[in-house]
Every structure is written in C-alpha cells, then in structure tokens.
Amino acid sequence: MSHRAFFVTVWVCSLAGAAGADQFALQRIVADRSIACLPDDLKPVFEQSMEAFRDAALEPGHQWLRDRKHRDANRWHDGALDLSAAAPTATARIEACRSFPRDRTAARLLYRQHGIRKGGELPWAIAEQYDLLVKAFRSKDHQRIIEAAGHLTHFVADAANPFRVSADGDGTHTGNLIVGSSRGVHPRANYRNIRQRFETGIITRFKSQFTTAVDVGPADY
C-alpha cells in the first residue's frame, strides 16, 4: 500500500467519524475506524499496536502543548480558510475558501491582516506529518510508523471538523449567542456557543454509539 493511499484512507475514515465529536473523542474514533479501513496486508501492523497508535493520535492535542519543542503546536490545529469572506453568508465563505492562499507565507500575511496572531497552520501541519510518515515507512521502523501515523491522524481529523477550518467556528462572526467565557463557564455547559453545541453536545447525546472508542467524562470537556 502506498503512503498516499494510507493518507487518503485516514482522511475518508475521519470524515465518516467526525460529526459532532469533541477534540479528543474525535481522534480516538478516527484512530479506531482508520485501522478498520486498512487493507489486509497493513492492518495487522496497526492492530498489534492499537493503544500506541491511539495514544499517538491524541498526543498533539495535549502533550505537545506542554512541550517546549512543540511550543507552536497550538497554531497547527486550525485553518481559518474562510477568513477573507466578503459577507457572513455560506456563499461568500465558500468563495473565500476557494481563494485561500496555498502558500504558507501568503496565508500568514492574510492572518496578520485580519488580526490573527496564532492559528491557521493546519494545512501545512498535515503536509509535514505526511512527509514524516513517508520517512517512517522508508525507515521500516515499526515504532516510528505507528507514531507518525497517529500524529497524521490527529491533524487530518482536525481538518474534517468544520469548526476547525472556519474563522467563524464558534459563531461569533455571524452573531450567534455566546454565553460567558471559555474560562468562566462550567465544563458541562455544552451550549456556550454554536461550536460547543455540536461538538461536546452531540458527542454526549450519542455517547452510547461511541462507547467502544471513547468514554466521555468531565475531564474530556
């Protein structure tokens, strides 16, 4: 199986499992489903290292944020692709996404023009993690392959989450109700904004469907 085919497999699986999952629940669901989608010759490699693969898929979301080596990782998880939308409408946002810069430097300039100092590195984070996975396969190092595949899974899953690729992910640009602040609201308040309504709210409502992949508790919010 080619490395690119592996990337496409993970991408398709992430779309299948992305609806309504909170950040870490999503990564666990995608990791599990990704293995199920793999061809028979590659599946055993990941099945025998399922826990390590899942841990690697979660790692960028929490461990990297506390690691000096990955001090900029917090900007890798999002991509404000519709930032330059001329109006807060679906049509305008889609057009903005289509014209989003493919060049990293140009994208950073766009962010600065709109006052965004951090964020928006997701497309390039995926490309970098993909390259690391290719190198891992070439090295034939099993541990490196599992780790690199897990990291790639994390960012591909982020890209399948519509709230992570829109500048209006929480509904502020379109005037949706915002209740309190992220620090001042109880973690179980799933309806603080439109993003929480669909992410933590739906994963909680349909928890029974995901029990094999995620156990949602207060800490997960």
Angstrom distance (rounded) from CA 90 to CA 68: 39
Are 32 and 46 a contacting pair, CB within 8 Å? Answer: no
Other beta carbons within 10 angstroms of residue 111's beta carbon come to 20
The pTM for the full model equals: 0.73
Radius of gyration of the chain (CA): 18
Alpha-carbon distance values, 204 to 190, 214, 216 (Å): 9, 10, 7
Q: Quote the pLDDT of residue 126.
A: 94
Q: What percent of the chain has pLDDT over 90?
A: 33
Nearest to 117 by CA among 144, 80, 158: 80
Are 83 and 96 a contacting pair, CB within 8 Å? Answer: yes
* Domain locations in the chain as residue ranges: 3-220
Are 191 and 201 a contacting pair, CB within 8 Å? Answer: yes
Length of the chain: 221
Q: Quote the pLDDT of residue 127.
A: 94
Backbone angle region of 3, left / alpha / beta, with phi > 0 → left and psi within -120 to 50 → alpha = alpha
User: For the stretch 172-200, what's the b/e string if a residue is b when 16 or more beta carbons lie within 10 angstroms of its beta carbon?
Assistant: eeeeeeeeeeeeebeeeebebbbbbbbbb
Q: Quote the pLDDT of residue 217.
A: 53
Q: Quote the pLDDT of residue 167.
A: 85
Angstrom distance (rounded) from CA 59 to CA 130: 16
Q: What is the DSSP letter of 81?
A: T
pLDDT tens for each residue of the chain, 221 residues long: 444 444 444 444 444 443 333 456 778 888 888 888 889 999 999 999 999 999 999 898 878 877 777 777 777 888 889 999 998 888 999 999 999 999 999 999 999 898 887 778 899 999 999 999 999 999 999 999 999 999 999 999 888 888 888 887 777 777 666 665 555 455 455 556 667 666 666 666 776 776 655 555 544 44
Task: Decide: helix, strand or coil at residue 215.
Answer: coil
Are 186 and 91 a contacting pair, CB within 8 Å? Answer: no
pLDDT, tens digit, for every residue of 110-153?
Answer: 998 988 877 788 999 999 999 999 999 999 999 999 999 999 99
Alpha-carbon distance values, 34 to 110, 128, 208 (Å): 34, 19, 20
Angstrom distance (rounded) from CA 48 to CA 66: 29
Q: Quote the pLDDT of residue 30.
A: 85
